[in-house]
Structure 1
Amino acid sequence: MLLTLIFVLLLIFFLYTLVRQLKGASNTSLPIPFVKNGCLPIIGHLIPFLKDKSKFIFECQRSYGSRFFIELFSQRMIFLLDPNDWSPVIRNPNLSLPVKDFGTKTFGISRGFLDDEPIMNEIHRYFKLYLQSTESLDFLTARFSKCVRDVMIQDRARIGSHVWHPYSLLELSHRMIFEASGRTLFGDMNPLLLEKEFLLFDKKFHYFAAFLPDFIYSLFLRREMNARSSMTTYFNAHPHSNNESELVHHRAKRILEAESRQPNDLGASHTSIFWASVGNTIPATFWSLFYILRDPHALQKINEEICTHLPPFSFSDPNDKSFEFWTSGNIAKCVYLESAINEVLRIKGTPMVSRKCYQDTQISLADGTIIPVRENDMISLFPEVVHSDPNYFPEPEIYKFDRFLGKTTDAIKGLLTFGSGKTICPGRHFAKNEIKICTALILQNIDYEFLETNMNINCVKNRIGFGIAPPDCDVPIRYRYKE
């Protein structure tokens, strides 16, 4: 048995070496270097890439410059780290976000349903209609404000008023956003029924989004697969709820009508929306509070504008309608809060903007270099490199809450926090409003104390590349509700 295994491994290694030699000519024909360090047979650079993307990419940049490529299994991944090279990638019609791979691998949506182009176009239209129009965004924003207030009322009744309660900052951020966001989008459902499954799935989310071979999920991620399946089953059994948002209502209705739909597609699609609504906003709120609460000048400026533009809620009057004034327009008047959160997204936002090649093409870079791109190649931009570059952001290691004061982030070169081009995150405006509202309501209604002041907090390394990575450890605090 052992000899057979050794023979099979040697055969695989021989075939891999042969394939590498045959591919060598095409690799060397690229006018950018191939990363040799850390490349293993069969899997390529998978281990260092998954372990710590940020460290790996920064090391590659130091060794090879702003242009290089790696291999993940049999797929080439070309990195372009200079923002001057990004535009040709974003505009090339043969390069696009691998939405179908992501939907199938990450959430279990059937490929046949994702291949139904008329349905996908209509669903994408709903995102624009119900997440980006002023009227719809104002409705969702005010509703989320009310839902956070309801969570605070329950929490205040649970711990008592004026009583210091030991907790942690990530737990507080999770508590304020998880239930409120779920109710805002899905209506009168209880998101807490899915909390255990969500946390289990979210902790290993990076493996699902890595598009690994199916057998890896079956062998090593069974608990997480079951957790995802439980969320899908719940949403399949509850396709609609009272007071659900227009977005969820119309998406569910259209999915149920689709002939290409498989039995689990509605539940899997709802699971993807549910994760998208909280998977990044919870850690983003944590980091916003972490930086703002420790900066007295930021606290003063932000509290002043919150008091001016956002009326306080009543915790005792059930008919209080103050949340109706928490509109996108009024929230946008809090310019220091806007700048402070944009600065958090610069420092802790670590998205990897990737495009898959669906037809052989070429891209012309800023200096005239032509890169031939083969079908199935991936082109990746990694904005964290630019976010940390003093040539673009002076003193990038320092949190400056007013760095973006009076600036439109879409026009700032090198700043990519929600993706780019036609595949930019359609829910980015609502997501930012969620972060602002939660931060503002906590500042407005809660006293806090840090129980430890000299903690060294970093991002969870293997979550880098998927938006806002959570902290690698929580921050102990105690809090109480104000008068």
Structure 2
Amino acid sequence: MLLTLIFVLLLIFFLYTLVRQFKGASNTSLPIPFVKNGCLPIIGHLIPFLKDKSKFIFECQRSYGSRFFIELFSQRMIFLLDPNDWSPVIRNPNLSLPVKDFGTKTFGISRGFLDDEPIMNEIHRYFKLYLQSTESLDFLTARFSKCVRDVMIQDRARIGCHVWHPYSLLELSHRMIFEASGRTLFGDINPLLLEKEFLLFDKKFHYFASLLPDFIYSLFLRREMDARSNMTAYFNAHPHSDNESELVYHRAKRILEAESRQPNDLGASQTSIFWASVGNTIPATFWSLFYILRDPHALQKINEEICTHLPPFSFSDPNDKSFEFWTSGNIAKCVYLESAINEVLRIKGTPMVSRKCYQDTQISLADGTMIPVRENDMVSLFPEVMHSDPNYFPEPEIYKFDRFLGKTTDTIKGFLTFGSGKTICPGRHFAKNEIKICTALILQNIDYEFLETNMNISCVKNRVGFGIAPPDCDIPIRYRYKE
């Protein structure tokens, strides 16, 4: 295996050298600086980029300003960090999210199926219809509330009332969301059957989503690929379930009807939805609880509005319908909760908004600079830089739960957490409701104590760039259910 890897790397180096000789060095063809530090033959800046994106990009900004470019293998990646330069990128029709590359490399969906434009357009329409309309969103939100309540009933029966149970904050967030979200979308399945595979795949998700050469996955990520295959096989074997959401029902039905579908495309597509529903909401809930539970003023304000707008559930009455009042409208009335979670997304939301160039084009930046972008280049925005800029967010290092009070996040310059333009996350409203509901129900029904005073934790560094990165270590707590 080692000899094979050495041979492959030597072959790539030879081909890389030939390409560079014929095409010329790409780092001299743009009116913005090329990052020289950390660039190696063949792989370019891959090592520092994958190891710690935030550190690498912040260092590049300090050395080169808000515009620079790097190389990953033979691909140029142009970074534009100033929000004044974002609009031309988002609106350029020749720059698009590499959805097909992402779907194939990350989840194993066949390229032929992803190339079926009528099917893809119809599936995209389902997202809009069943995740963004008020009626559908209210239904999913209320159903998720009920599913979290069901998880709490089981958990309460397991550990009893008034009994302190040692646990950890990330485990608690995972326990409350993983099963509830799976049942909300996919109906009467048992998400816990997928838990082991999900955790294994999710831990290395950033490598799949980085769109690396195929040989890296087959050589170094076999266990994770097997875990992904097991999830795919599960959803292939369960195309429909009782009480599944309209989104999942109509997607599965249309995929099964598609002539372009390959045998694993249904399961792979459903796996992508399953991961999307929990992959970021679990760490986002962890960070929300981490900050809110340690801020007495935030706790007071948020608890007051939860008591006012969101009725408590009964854990003993099977006919209790209180969850029906946990609608998007009522949740939106909890303005301090909304602001507190937006502040978490500002501090810990680390998406990298990237667009791939599918046809040579130009970007006209705010100061009139023209950036020629060639086919296969990537253009990336990294909002974390602006989220940490005191010119946009005063005292950015301090968590202020009321920072976003009375503000509409869509209009705040430099604040970008769910993507943008046509490819903005279609499930952002439901995902945010999941975080709010889980946080509110924990505050409403659970007493807690932190077991350690050392709270010096950070994000998993190599997960930065893909939404909300999980913590690099968990926080030990103990909890018990209130009466």
**Do both proteins adopt the same fold according to a TM-score greater than 0.5, normalized to the shorter chain?**
yes
Structure 1 residues 78-477: aligned runs within 5 Å: 78-477=78-477
Measure how far apart 1:244 and its partner are: 0.1
In 2, distance between residues paired with 1:51 and 1:31?
28
Per-residue Cα deviation, 1:398-455 (whole angstroms, up to 9, x for no partner): 0000000000000000100000001000000000000000000000000000001222
Question: Runs ≥4 in structure 1, deviation > 2 angstroms?
Answer: 1-27
Measure how far apart 1:66 and its partner are: 0.5
> Structure 1's 234 and 57: CA in aligned 2 closer, same or farther, altered over 3 A?
same
> Structure 1's 400 and 102: CA in aligned 2 closer, same or farther, altered over 3 A?
same
Measure how far apart 1:11 and its partner are: 7.6
> Structure 1's 261 and 154: CA in aligned 2 closer, same or farther, altered over 3 A?
same
> Structure 1's 441 and 10: CA in aligned 2 closer, same or farther, altered over 3 A?
closer
- Using the TM superposition, name which of 2-11 and 61-70 deviates more: 2-11
Task: Give the secondary-structure state (helix, strand or coil) at the position aligned to 1:216.
Answer: helix
Per-residue Cα deviation, 1:70-97 (whole angstroms, up to 9, x for no partner): 0101100000000000000000000000
In 2, distance between residues paired with 1:80 and 1:463?
21
Per-residue Cα deviation, 1:306-326 (whole angstroms, up to 9, x for no partner): 000000000000000000000
Contact 2:16 2:74 in 1 (8 A): no
In 2, distance between residues paired with 1:436 and 1:306?
10
- Using the TM superposition, name which of 262-271 and 451-460 deviates more: 451-460
In 2, distance between residues paired with 1:11 and 1:304?
64
Measure how far apart 1:254 and its partner are: 0.3
> Structure 1's 123 and 6: CA in aligned 2 closer, same or farther, altered over 3 A?
closer
TM-score normalised by structure 2 residue count? 0.98
Measure how far apart 1:5 and its partner are: 10
Measure how far apart 1:3 and its partner are: 12
In 2, distance between residues paired with 1:195 and 1:12?
37
Task: Give the secondary-structure state (helix, strand or coil) at the position aligned to 1:76.
Answer: strand
> Structure 1's 322 and 44: CA in aligned 2 closer, same or farther, altered over 3 A?
same
Contact 2:309 2:330 in 1 (8 A): yes
Measure how far apart 1:8 and its partner are: 9.1
In 1, distance between residues paired with 2:479 and 2:401?
23
Contact 2:164 2:478 in 1 (8 A): yes
- Runs (5+) with no aligned partner, structure 1: none
Per-residue Cα deviation, 1:204-248 (whole angstroms, up to 9, x for no partner): 000000111111111111100000000000000000000000000
Task: Give the secondary-structure state (helix, strand or coil) at the position aligned to 2:174.
Answer: helix
Contact 2:235 2:271 in 1 (8 A): yes
> Structure 1's 18 and 338: CA in aligned 2 closer, same or farther, altered over 3 A?
same
In 1, distance between residues paired with 2:292 and 2:9?
54
Per-residue Cα deviation, 1:156-209 (whole angstroms, up to 9, x for no partner): 000011100000000000000000000000000000000000000000000000
In 2, distance between residues paired with 1:3 and 1:447?
56
In 1, distance between residues paired with 2:229 and 2:376?
29
* Count of residues in correspondence between the two structures: 483
In 2, distance between residues paired with 1:425 and 1:88?
19
> Structure 1's 61 and 165: CA in aligned 2 closer, same or farther, altered over 3 A?
same
Per-residue Cα deviation, 1:250-273 (whole angstroms, up to 9, x for no partner): 000000000000000000000000
> Structure 1's 3 and 344: CA in aligned 2 closer, same or farther, altered over 3 A?
closer
> Structure 1's 66 and 22: CA in aligned 2 closer, same or farther, altered over 3 A?
farther
TM-align CA RMSD: 1.8
> Structure 1's 364 and 442: CA in aligned 2 closer, same or farther, altered over 3 A?
same
Match of 1:31 in 2: 31
Per-residue Cα deviation, 1:130-151 (whole angstroms, up to 9, x for no partner): 0000000000000000000000
- Using the TM superposition, name which of 212-221 and 135-144 deviates more: 212-221
- Using the TM superposition, name which of 451-460 and 262-271 deviates more: 451-460
Task: Give the secondary-structure state (helix, strand or coil) at the position aligned to 1:403.
Answer: coil
> Structure 1's 4 and 217: CA in aligned 2 closer, same or farther, altered over 3 A?
closer
Task: Give the secondary-structure state (helix, strand or coil) at the position aligned to 2:25.
Answer: helix
Measure how far apart 1:300 and its partner are: 0.1
Task: Give the secondary-structure state (helix, strand or coil) at the position aligned to 1:143.
Answer: helix
Measure how far apart 1:29 and its partner are: 2.4
Measure how far apart 1:19 and its partner are: 3.7
> Structure 1's 11 and 195: CA in aligned 2 closer, same or farther, altered over 3 A?
closer
> Structure 1's 313 and 457: CA in aligned 2 closer, same or farther, altered over 3 A?
same
Measure how far apart 1:20 and its partner are: 3.4
| Percent of pairs with identical residues | 96
> Structure 1's 257 and 480: CA in aligned 2 closer, same or farther, altered over 3 A?
same
In 2, distance between residues paired with 1:373 and 1:211?
20
> Structure 1's 11 and 169: CA in aligned 2 closer, same or farther, altered over 3 A?
closer
Measure how far apart 1:461 and its partner are: 0.3
- Runs (5+) with no aligned partner, structure 2: none
> Structure 1's 31 and 318: CA in aligned 2 closer, same or farther, altered over 3 A?
same
In 2, distance between residues paired with 1:110 and 1:423?
20
In 2, distance between residues paired with 1:159 and 1:223?
34
TM-score normalised by structure 1 residue count? 0.98
> Structure 1's 350 and 11: CA in aligned 2 closer, same or farther, altered over 3 A?
closer
Task: Give the secondary-structure state (helix, strand or coil) at the position aligned to 1:125.
Answer: helix
Task: Give the secondary-structure state (helix, strand or coil) at the position aligned to 2:184.
Answer: helix
Contact 2:68 2:78 in 1 (8 A): yes
In 2, distance between residues paired with 1:8 and 1:139?
52
In 1, distance between residues paired with 2:7 and 2:432?
55
Per-residue Cα deviation, 1:432-483 (whole angstroms, up to 9, x for no partner): 0000000000000000000012221100000000000000000000000001
Per-residue Cα deviation, 1:52-75 (whole angstroms, up to 9, x for no partner): 000000011111110000010110
In 2, distance between residues paired with 1:225 and 1:53?
24
In 2, distance between residues paired with 1:387 and 1:226?
37
In 2, distance between residues paired with 1:354 and 1:270?
24
In 2, distance between residues paired with 1:19 and 1:60?
26
> Structure 1's 12 and 234: CA in aligned 2 closer, same or farther, altered over 3 A?
closer
Measure how far apart 1:27 and its partner are: 3.1
> Structure 1's 432 and 147: CA in aligned 2 closer, same or farther, altered over 3 A?
same
Task: Give the secondary-structure state (helix, strand or coil) at the position aligned to 2:367.
Answer: coil
In 2, distance between residues paired with 1:254 and 1:13?
44
Measure how far apart 1:26 and its partner are: 4.6
> Structure 1's 9 and 321: CA in aligned 2 closer, same or farther, altered over 3 A?
closer
In 2, distance between residues paired with 1:3 and 1:231?
32
> Structure 1's 426 and 10: CA in aligned 2 closer, same or farther, altered over 3 A?
closer
> Structure 1's 186 and 12: CA in aligned 2 closer, same or farther, altered over 3 A?
closer
> Structure 1's 193 and 14: CA in aligned 2 closer, same or farther, altered over 3 A?
closer
